Structure 1
Amino acid sequence: MRIAVFGANGPTGRLLTGQALAAGHHVTAITRQPDSFPLHHERLDVIGADVHIPMAVDAAVAEQDAVLSALGVPATKGPITTYSRGMANIVAAMQRHEVRRLAVVSSSGVDPRPYSEGGFLLNRIVLPYLTRVMAKTLYDDMRRMEALVRASDLDWTILRPSGLYQLPSVTDYTLIEGHADARFTSRTDLAASMLALLDDDRYVRTTLSVVTTVDNPTFLQYVRREVLARS
């Protein structure tokens, strides 16, 4: 299968590209910084393109069998439009070239709810600050992206991971339709779940939560490894 991966140079996108190549697919990795892309393979094409530019997106989508979007931008209090503008261009290109299958990474933060095991600090302080202040514009744009996807006539699936962290290999992850009361998703599991959707039509036009149930970090470990390490 020929697969286009948008956001291929991000942490999840690189894992997704590697897993897709290992599964025998031909992958087109789309990134704004192709020279820094670390993977090389005879079935890999790396394209330098900006999702904000319709013609660049159109060229990347042409002749593909499926599109996987792992687009990601840093949280900021300023305006963010990458998710919605990029997805509008992706959807238009897919419709133009009659590419049907689309899987999109969103976030559980677009529908924030308290976690039963989250405790006071996470549920009453961290989550409200993250979703309503620090990353408000990011989640607002993700909501616009989801609305665009749902309004399309494509065979789409939206995946909403929770707190993303690193694991060395894929686990026996769980997919749950709609909201999941789970705090963490490994990037390896998120990538694997996206790839598995290409051979599974049960979740077409469905929003899924991806849950990793083993080797989860504690909340403080997560903050130290994933939040402070990037600041």
Structure 2
Amino acid sequence: MRIAVFGANGPTGRHLTDQALTAGHEVVAVTRRPGSLLPGRPGLAVAVADATDPAAVDAVIAGTDAVLSALGARFGKETITVYSASATAITRAMTRHGVKRLLTVSSSIADPSWRPTGAHLFNHVLDPLVNRRLGRTLHEDMRRMEALIRRTDLDWTLVRPSGLFEHPVVTEYHTAETSADGVFTARTDLAASMLRELDERRYVRTAMGVITTAVKPNVAKLIWHEGVKKK
């Protein structure tokens, strides 16, 4: 299968690109900054494009069989539009070219009823402070993206991880419709779940929650790497 991966040079996109190539797919890795995505690996084509540019997106999607988006943005006070703007460009291009299958990374926060069982500190301190205050503008745009995608006739899956962290290998992870009952998701597991769903099609035209169950991150290190260090 020939797959367009948007955000291919991002933290999740790199895992997604690597796992897709290992599985034997052809990958068009779409990024604004090629970085470490150097062409030459069998099955890999690198496309430098802005995911919010309709013409650039149209050129990338032509000739593909499916689109996987791992686009992301940082928390900020300003209005964030990258999720909804890219979804507009991607879904319109897919419709024009007859490409039906779309999987895009969203967040468990998009489910208003999501509250992980037994996670008192997260539910009552970290989630209200970090996700729903500092990340308010980001998650508002994720919800706009989800609403936009739901209105299309595509075979879409909204992929909702919980708190993302780095782990070197794919583990035993869990998926569920709408959202999954857990606080953390390894990026390797997120990528693996998307590729499995691409084949199995268990969550077409609905949301798929993904959580990691076998390992947990060190919370202090997670805050440092995902928050402080990235800034």
CA–CA distance in structure 1, aligned partners of residues 71 and 140 of structure 2: 15
CA–CA distance in structure 2, aligned partners of residues 50 and 178 of structure 1: 29
1:45 alignment partner, SS class: strand
Normalised by the size of structure 1, how large is the TM-score? 0.94
Are the structure 2 counterparts of residues 114 and 199 from structure 1 closer, same or farther at C-alpha, using a change threshold of 3 Å? closer
Shift of 1:218: 4.5
CA–CA distance in structure 1, aligned partners of residues 199 and 179 of structure 2: 23
Shift of 1:103: 0.4
Shift of 1:116: 2.5
Q: How does 1:16-27 map to 2 (within 5 A)?
A: 16-27=16-27
| One-letter amino acid of the structure 2 residue matched with residue 9 of structure 1 | N
Residue 73 of structure 1 is matched in structure 2 by 73
Q: Does structure 2 retain, via aligned residues, the 8 Å contact 1:75–1:134?
A: yes
Residue 114 of structure 1 is matched in structure 2 by 115
Q: Does 1:151 align with 2:173?
A: no
CA–CA distance in structure 1, aligned partners of residues 226 and 34 of structure 2: 25
Are the structure 2 counterparts of residues 14 and 38 from structure 1 closer, same or farther at C-alpha, using a change threshold of 3 Å? farther
Q: Does structure 1 retain, via aligned residues, the 8 Å contact 2:52–2:85?
A: yes
2:124 alignment partner, SS class: helix
Greater shift in the superposed pair: 33-42 or 140-149: 33-42
Normalised by the size of structure 2, how large is the TM-score? 0.94
Shift of 1:108: 1.0
Q: Does 1:130 align with 2:130?
A: yes
Q: Does structure 2 retain, via aligned residues, the 8 Å contact 1:77–1:133?
A: no
| One-letter amino acid of the structure 2 residue matched with residue 81 of structure 1 | T
Alpha-carbon RMSD: 1.6
Shift of 1:35: 4.6
Residue 171 of structure 1 is matched in structure 2 by 171
Shift of 1:131: 2.8
Greater shift in the superposed pair: 11-20 or 130-139: 130-139
2:229 alignment partner, SS class: helix
| One-letter amino acid of the structure 2 residue matched with residue 84 of structure 1 | S
Residue 8 of structure 2 is matched in structure 1 by 8
CA–CA distance in structure 2, aligned partners of residues 103 and 65 of structure 1: 12
CA–CA distance in structure 1, aligned partners of residues 178 and 35 of structure 2: 38
2:28 alignment partner, SS class: strand
Q: Does structure 1 retain, via aligned residues, the 8 Å contact 2:66–2:102?
A: yes
CA–CA distance in structure 2, aligned partners of residues 40 and 134 of structure 1: 40
Q: Does structure 2 retain, via aligned residues, the 8 Å contact 1:159–1:209?
A: yes
Shift of 1:51: 1.2
CA–CA distance in structure 1, aligned partners of residues 62 and 155 of structure 2: 17
Shift of 1:203: 1.4
